């Protein structure tokens, strides 16, 4: 759709405002005035607008001069700037070491400093994951600064002794969804998804090796955790092999290496010619199913760099935010992907090519995609927050318009959160939605890189000036506090 500055849409939004303002005088009000509004409800920019926020909600939107700004409001002049929804990273991993100094700067602050106002954890570290629920509550009650958290409990990795009990346990502890991993058996998978369906809890995760895409679709799993999960559908291996748990991964990797070794000398166009029809057949199975897929493509790029240009990886300025223990592991050749690809390093660029082809096919077939990076563990070379911009860049490099790319981290998020929690009032700038907002200096619909130039971030009604964000993530600043207001 052609981008347009729309006065008609502006008028319609204004006319939808309530005649009275029941919020007036009851909560702190922030007024963004004279902004170019990028609501992400469609591909439009609404010039010279005012957006009022009371507490944690957007309460009024309209052309400047037609919205009454309370005399006591905090006014943020956005002249020449663009106001857009905050971004969501829909696949991250919480770790208890986010606090306490293991990371040079807490990832909570790295996310906010990069415009990420929502994160969804696909498996907190530790046995119970209860700290994730505690952090979620602390942020919701303004006792901790950070993006809004949605989280599953510990992953159902497989083998799982009592899948039904584990799903029930997580449901009643208050986790937002169930994550299923690669190693569960078909019986465990069916029991987990059936129990989740009865309890009304969302299921997302890997496509288990013994189950396959057809089995996942038959059981009505709600979401696929990575684009790369569809890559394994291209690998011919014995799903009935007598293996258990983590023994599946080296077996399937070896099968992929053996099957596709003859492809390693092919250029990108030859790979597309040979693999395109196979990929199309796999993606066609998702059409009409409304099953979203998390992107997580930047990790492929990082893996290629780690394996083939290790010094360039170490020299990246952003990597100063990674934990020192990870850098030490990497220098010793002992980090995750160095071990997984050992002896098969040449497969990393090939796999990245395949994952990009799958991404393009998903876009062409209008399969819902969610912006996601897999950051947060500290053990893969991904820097929380910063990696979201590289994920957006990769989407645009592979045929997405800036609007389409941004929709994966804004508009597309709302229905998923609604399916998980019953409340999906985020991802677009509309009255009643959560006040997760980015004030950026240039139009993000022209170039997604413009989001890097922030004037400030509002997370659930809490405003953070860009300068304060830069100061809090400057090395040498305390990792667990630091003056964000």
Domain 4-85+429-472 classified CATH 2.30.40.10?
yes
Strand partners, 458: 437, 463
pLDDT value of residue 27: 75
pLDDT digits 0-9 by tens, 193-246: 999 999 999 999 999 999 999 999 999 999 999 999 999 999 999 999 999 999
pLDDT digits 0-9 by tens, 86-100: 999 999 999 999 998
Picking from 148, 112, 156, the residue whose alpha carbon sits closest to that of residue 132 is 148
Entry pTM: 0.93
Homologous superfamily of the 87-421 domain (CATH)? Metal-dependent hydrolases (3.20.20.140)
The sign of the dihedral angle between the CA atoms of 38, 40, 46, 52 is negative
| Residues 144/226, Cβ–Cβ less than 8 Å | no
Q: Does the N-terminal peptide bond of residue 310 adopt cis geometry, omega within 30 degrees of 0?
A: no
The whole-angstrom separation of Cα 212 and Cα 207 is 6
Residue 467, exposed/middle/buried by CB under 10 A (0-12, 13-18, 19+)? Answer: exposed
The whole-angstrom separation of Cα 154 and Cα 166 is 9
pLDDT at residue 6 tops 80? no
pLDDT digits 0-9 by tens, 247-260: 999 999 999 999 99
Work out the pLDDT band at 4, boundaries 50, 70, 90.
very low
Question: What does R_g of the chain's alpha carbons equal in angstroms?
Answer: 23
Which runs of E-coded beta strand occur in 214-325? 223-224, 293-294
The whole-angstrom separation of Cα 459 and Cα 176 is 20
Instruction: Output the average pLDDT for the chain.
Output: 93
Better-scored residue on pLDDT, 65 or 327: 327
Phi/psi region, residue 212 (left: phi>0; alpha: psi -120 to 50; beta: rest), is left
Locate CATH 3.20.20.140 in the chain. 87-421
pLDDT value of residue 481: 36
When pLDDT is averaged across residues 321-346 and rounded to a whole number, the result is: 96
pLDDT at residue 477 tops 50? no
Locate CATH 2.30.40.10 in the chain. 4-85+429-472
Q: In this prediction, what percent of the chain has a pLDDT beyond 90?
A: 91
pLDDT digits 0-9 by tens, 366-410: 999 999 999 999 999 999 999 999 999 999 999 999 999 999 999
pLDDT value of residue 62: 97
pLDDT at residue 9 tops 80? no
């Amino acid at each position: 759709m052609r981008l347009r500055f729309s006065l008609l849409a502006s008028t319609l939004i204004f006319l939808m405002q309530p005649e009275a303002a029941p919020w007036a005088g009851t909560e702190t009000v922030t007024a963004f005035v004279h902004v170019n509004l990028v609501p992400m409800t469609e591909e439009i920019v609404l010039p010279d607008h005012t957006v009022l926020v009371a507490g944690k909600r957007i309460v009024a939107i309209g052309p400047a001069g037609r919205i009454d700004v309370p005399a006591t409001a905090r006014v943020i002049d956005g002249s020449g700037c663009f106001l857009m929804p905050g971004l969501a990273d829909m696949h991250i991993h919480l770790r208890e070491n986010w606090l306490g100094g293991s990371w040079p700067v807490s990832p909570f602050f790295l996310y906010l400093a990069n415009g990420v106002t929502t994160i969804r954890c696909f498996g907190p570290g530790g046995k119970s994951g209860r700290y994730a629920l505690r952090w979620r509550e602390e942020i919701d009650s303004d006792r901790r600064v950070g993006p809004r958290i949605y989280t599953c409990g510990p992953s159902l990795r497989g083998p799982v002794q009592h899948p039904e009990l584990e799903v029930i346990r997580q449901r009643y502890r208050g986790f937002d969804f169930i994550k299923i991993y690669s190693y569960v058996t078909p019986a465990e998978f069916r029991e987990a998804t059936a129990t989740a369906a009865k309890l009304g809890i969302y299921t997302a995760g890997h496509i288990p090796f013994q189950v396959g895409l057809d089995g996942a679709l038959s059981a009505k799993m709600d979401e696929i955790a990575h684009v790369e999960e569809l890559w394994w559908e291209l690998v011919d291996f014995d799903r009935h092999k007598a293996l258990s748990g983590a023994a599946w991964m080296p077996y399937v990797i070896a099968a992929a290496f053996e099957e596709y070794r003859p492809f390693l000398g092919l250029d990108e166009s030859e790979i597309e010619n040979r693999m395109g029809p196979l990929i199309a057949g796999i993606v066609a199975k998702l059409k009409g199913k409304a099953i979203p897929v998390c992107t997580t493509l930047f990790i492929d790029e990082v893996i290629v760099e780690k394996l083939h240009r290790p010094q360039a990886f170490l020299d990246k300025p952003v990597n100063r935010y990674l934990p020192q223990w990870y850098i030490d592991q990497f220098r010793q050749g002992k980090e995750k992907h160095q071990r997984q690809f050992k002896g098969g390093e040449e497969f990393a660029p090939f796999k990245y090519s395949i994952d990009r082809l799958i991404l393009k096919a998903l876009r062409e077939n209008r399969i819902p995609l969610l912006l996601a990076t897999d950051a947060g563990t500290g053990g893969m070379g991904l820097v929380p927050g910063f990696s979201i911009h590289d994920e957006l860049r990769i989407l645009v490099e592979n045929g997405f318009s800036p609007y389409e790319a941004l929709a994966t981290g804004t508009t597309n998020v709302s229905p998923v959160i609604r399916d998980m929690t019953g409340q999906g009032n985020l991802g677009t700038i509309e009255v009643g939605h959560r006040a997760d907002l980015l004030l950026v200096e240039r139009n993000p619909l022209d170039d997604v890189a413009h989001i890097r130039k922030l004037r400030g971030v509002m997370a659930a009604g809490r405003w953070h000036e860009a300068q304060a964000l830069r100061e809090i993530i400057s090395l040498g600043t305390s990792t667990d506090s630091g003056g964000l207001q």
